[in-house]
Each structure stands twice: as C-alpha cells, then as structure tokens.
Amino acid sequence: MFQPKYPDSPTPPPAHIHTVAAPVAPVQRSTPQISVTSGAVVAVLVGGVVLTALLAAVAVTAISVAVCAVVIRSMLRNQQRR
C-alpha cells in the first residue's frame, strides 16, 4: 500500500540543447544610499535623554506619592486610636 510505484519503462531525459543568446548588458541596480547625518544622530540622542528624564521623573513622583500615602495612612491610624 505504501510502496512506491515505478513506471514500467523509464523514459530518457530530454536532450539539452545549448542556444547562443544575444549578449545582454548587465542590469545596473541602484543600491539605496543611507547617509546618516550628524543632525539625525543628535536628534536620536536628545530624544533618548528626554525620554529617560521623563521616565525618571515619573518614577520619582510615584515613589514620593507612595511615601506620602504611607505617612498619611499612619497619621490617620494613630489619630483614630486616640
């Protein structure tokens, strides 16, 4: 059932005939020229510094809000016990 079935008489491969084609000029492909200017590098660096500063500001703000919440909670708890 799973055995391959071979043809009874194998046919010879067709003869390969070489033909001479007309000479073709090589195709000139234009490669994209990527030029990174110093302005682009400075823009990326400034953007990275700004984003890092914003992330640090958000982290400091979150920590200070958390500390304030703990202090206020502690003060309210002490006041309710009196």
pLDDT tens, residue by residue, 18-60: 776 666 677 777 777 777 788 888 999 999 999 999 999 999 9
Do the domain assignments include residue 36?
Answer: no
pLDDT range class, residue 12, cuts 50, 70, 90: low
Which residue range(s) make up the domain with 59? 53-82
Return the higher-pLDDT residue of 79 and 7: 79
**Residue count of the chain:** 82
Do the domain assignments include residue 33?
Answer: no
Burial (0-12, 13-18, 19+ Cβ within 10 Å), 9? exposed
Sequence-distant (≥ 6) Cβ neighbours of residue 25 within 8 angstroms:
none
User: Could you tell me what percentage of the chain is helix, strand and coil, using 3-state DSSP and rounding each to the nearest 5?
Assistant: 55, 0, 45
Q: Which range among 7-21, 51-65, 68-82 shows the weakest confidence by mean pLDDT?
A: 7-21
pTM over 0.75: no
pLDDT at 49: 96
pLDDT at 28: 74
Do the domain assignments include residue 65?
Answer: yes
Cα–Cα dist 47/53, whole Å = 10
